[in-house]
Structure formats: C-alpha cells, structure tokens
Structure 1
C-alpha cells in the first residue's frame, strides 16, 4: 500500500524542493519521486543519457502490464533561482497557505500532485485494470537533448506504448481549471549573415554595404503574412530579435551584418518549409548570405478525443470550471511526446514560474491532486 508520505502532495513537493536540481544538476530529486513510486509497487528504471561522467538523469516507472495504459510525464529540473527571494528557494517554506520554492509551479508541484493522485488511486483500487507509467526527466529546462526524447526512444524499442500521456506543466494563467493545452506552436530560430566589403563611408563605390540588403531582407520577411491561423492555432509570428554589425565607428561601412529572428509557427507549417522560405527570400537579395536555422520543436495538435474529454470532465467536477482547449505559449516536452502518443498538458497556475518567490497555494496542490485522481478514475472506467 502507498505510504501517507506519497499520498500527500505538499510533503512530497517539499522534499522535491529541498533538492537543488538546477539544470543540469539532479541533487536527488528523481530519487525522491522514485522512492514514492517504489512504495506503490512501481518498477523503476533510471535512464541516464548523454556524454561524460555526469550524464543527464531520467526516470521511467511502470505499474501493471494491462490495458489501457496511461502515462504521466514531467521534469524535476528547475531554472536558477536568482537573487532577492523572501524565503530560501530550496527550503519549501510554507507561509500563509502558500509554499515557496524554485519549481513549485514549474513543475515539481505538478509531479508531486501526479504521484500523490496515483498513490490514492492505487490505494483505493489495488487491482485496477491497465497500467500507469511515469516519465520524468532532469533535462527540460536545459538543452533538452538527453531527457524526454531519448527516454521515448528507449520506450519505443521495448514496446512501451502508452495510450495517452498527461504532462503536468503549469498551464493555467490565473486559476486552476482555466486551460488544457492540446497542442503547441513550433519554434524556429534563424541567423542571417550578409557579407560585404568594408570601406570608408565617403567612398561607397569602393565598398559593399551588407546592411542595405539585410534591411531589404528583413522588410520582406516581416511584411509577409505567414498565415491567418485556424481553429486551434493563432497566426504564426515572425519576430526579429537582434540586428548587429559590430561597428563602433561612424565613418566605416562594415564588412558584415547579421540578424537573428524567431518564428513561432502553427501546424500549417513545418521547420523544413519555413527554412526553405527563409533561404529563398535571403537569396533573392543577397546570394552570398548564409542562413543558419535551428528548429527546437515542430507544431503539434492532439485532436480532442475521449481522453481529453475525460480530463476536462475531471477538472470541471473538482473546480466547477470548464477548461478552454488551447495551443498557445512556449514549447514543452510535449513536442517530443506527441510523436509517440496523444498528449495533453494540465497543471498548476503558472503566474510565478521562473520568477523570484515562485509559489503555489497548498489548496491548489490538493485540488490538482483530486483532479488527477478523478481523471485516472475516468480513464480506467471507475466512474
């Protein structure tokens, strides 16, 4: 039977917060989750990936071998705390109904609630049908190269194929029950470099100014409407984030000009098609220019189906609010999970994530645990 420790999201969260798991460090955070899961009978596998003597820590745990198969996903790494906190960011201090610490919202709180919800469910349903798994990584806030993605590949090689995944990212902007994320926009970063010929501004015929074609390139890019959005996604957005020529003089034409941009794109595009478009526009104005592209994630959409409806009903049964289905915001590890199984995201209120004095209410921890437990009941047909 699960221990009282593993059924209490606050106590579990405080144990996680006391681990200084600033990416790429783990400091025992995954072991805290593993101990709670082992206490319920989960088979736990540690999956370190990456080079060197300190590879990225990851964890996969499974209970049961039947169908249906539900997976909870999340991360225990956090961003650096910064300065000026009212309370120790790694103590889990409770004050006036709030628990403070780096990762309370993003997303040790979500992990704690998921583990506690499963513990309560298993305690009430010791011979439940189907299987439950946890995929936890210590590499979400960092480069995300050796975390969720290789764990998913490992799972696929061994036939570990959940029917649905719930990722406990902090999806709610104001109150619990606001939003379920059923998709995310893709993200592309590009660096455009135009090379010219340095020279004196008084003798432009002896030089070639790279800024002029770069300005023309950027004008064409920003005036182009990528799309008008669709039922689930807002219009794609291109934003120039930097223009730099490294020139400290007023009388010198620089030899090189560079611009950086980001495109957040919906499912009407792919990283490949956008890269081709960028290179076409750049080549039209400056054939010698180079375009470096990095795609951190493709757009994806989980079509609302039975599992999303079950989650929505669970949220409404606990909070009295019908959540909106949304695809906005930044990227998450759901962009990797979506290639292997349907995935949705629902967690705590994210108003203080990555901020000084990050915190969540104790009441919201209990409420989210009840939502997750209700969803598990719905998923396995216990209601």
Structure 2
C-alpha cells in the first residue's frame, strides 16, 4: 500500500501531471470542443444510419458442389453470367463454406446436394441451400432477389413448361435475419465518425497552441517534448473513448444493433484505432499554420479514407485498383473489426489480420507524428 501511495504522490507532483491538468482545464473551458465531441457524432450516426442505401455487384460466391454433374455446373454458370456473383472459391464442405462467410471472405454460399441430378431427372424439386451474409441487409436482399430470378430462369431452360419447379433454393441469412439496413451502416458510420472527430479535435487542439502563442510558452517549461505530447494525447484519448461508448449506445437504443462479441476486445481495438486518428490529427497540425487550414487539410485527407473504407458502399463494388488501395486504409480494417465483433461475434482468431494491420498503422503514424511534433518544438 505504501509503495502505491508513494507512486501516486510522485505522479501528482510530476511535470507530466501538471501538463495533463493544463490540457484538461483547457478542454473543459472550450465549449466548442465539447460540442464537437458530442453533437456531430450523434447527428452523423443518425443521418447515415437512416439514409444510406447503395447498389451492389460482384458479390463473392462460394459453391459446394456435391453433385458435380453438368446440371450443377450449368446452375453455377447461370449464377455468375450476369456478374452479380463472382465465384471466389469451391470449398469442400458446408462447414468450410460457412466459415468463409463468417470471416467475410464470401458474401453468398451455395450448397448443391449429391442427389441433384437424380431429382431433376425424375422431375422432383431439387433443393439447393443458399447461405447469405446478412450483415449488409441491402446486399443480402439484392442477392436473394437475383438468386430467385436466376433459378427461375434456370428452371425454364430445364423444363418444357414454365410452371414446373425443378430447382428450389432454400435461403438462410446469417447475422442479420431481418435484413435491417442500419445494422450494416451504423458500424461503418461509427468508424467514420471516430476518424473525423479524432483527427479534427487533436489537430485543432495542437494548432490552437500555435494561434494563441502558448506553444512557445511550453518551450520555456522544464519539460521534455514527449511529456508535452503525451499530456495532450491522454485527455483527448479519454474523451474519444466516450465517443465510442456514445456511438455504441446510440446504435443499441436507436437502431436495435446487436452486440454479439467481446466488449473488452471491442474497446481495446477501438482504443488502438483512436491512436491512429489522433496521430493523423497531430501530423495535420504540424503541417498547418491555422485552424482554417487544418480543417481544409483534414477534409482532403479524410474524404478518400471514408470513400475507400467500405463504410458507405461495399468494397466489392469498387474498381480493383481501389480495392487494393483500400488495404492501406486503416479505417477499412477498423470497420471490418467493428462489424465482425458487433454483428458476427467473432474474435481475434478471425480478426487478427485486421488487428495486426491496425497496430502497424498506429505505430507508424504515431512515430511519424511524434517526430514531426518534436522537431517543431525544437
């Protein structure tokens, strides 16, 4: 107990705590900053959650063909001829197929049973099973409609009459049985809002020091550059964690968003992404001379991040070049993490690639921003 009291006493008497207390007092006195942290995230989350509804194509299709006969191959060809579906893989089992849907590698899975040809030959209804990732309700609805239409056309080619049903699809929607559009958009908007708020607030906070001349005063204090920077980051980080909880609460209360994963994993990875957003903001502040300039620069940087992240429209609908480019977008990885944890309930065994990418972005961007800030102080 005594070592803890000694540590706390030394901490509260340290230069770091003095700088952190100064930042906290500045934030609490800045009503515009508090409003920026609360009002825009709320409005954007509600607006995008209710309004967005994009078109889709090039959906990733997986096929388990137990029959492996000309009729089954013809059905697969019919599904892919209009480019709404593109065969991504031929798994060897239903378990492997559902696993790839869970991991986000496939959007739609089709299972063709072994007795497919026999039932068609005998004029019976040959049922096929269709798995659809229902996280994006709009995509799932369109996929269901196209599958139904394609199967109907396929039936007409096989049958002499247009009324006889030869193939009957049984569609199952994963993760979003009610095909609620907001369940897809709200997790994406959470990432979008955190990107905008984290980068803007951190950038404006640092630039304001330049405008008011207090940055020069900090240079006169007996504090190391890292102490000055960390004292700025920690209070902002705590406030932005509040924004994460606010967005999650709105999603639950307003849109009925489920939460199927691990809450602590979600908060840990969200905290990791907050460091990415804060790093972007500090970098913007080091290259900007005024608050107006930093806002314009942030708009220029954040807009491409948002457009190529999959927050608004599925990445599969983008040209191949932009799909590859999006791999270097930290927001894309964070949105995949949010949707995976909230809607699918998966953990690091599935999301480790995105988590690793996010950690790499956080380390690289924070290192660059710290070095630029330190050189500016020097």
TM-score normalized by the length of structure 1? 0.29
Give the structure with the higher percent strand.
1
Q: Which of the pair has the greater relative contact order for Cα pairs under 8 Å at 6+ separation?
A: 1
Q: Would you tell me which structure has more helix in proportion to its own residues?
A: 2
> Of the two, which has the highest radius of gyration?
2
TM-score by length of 2: 0.30
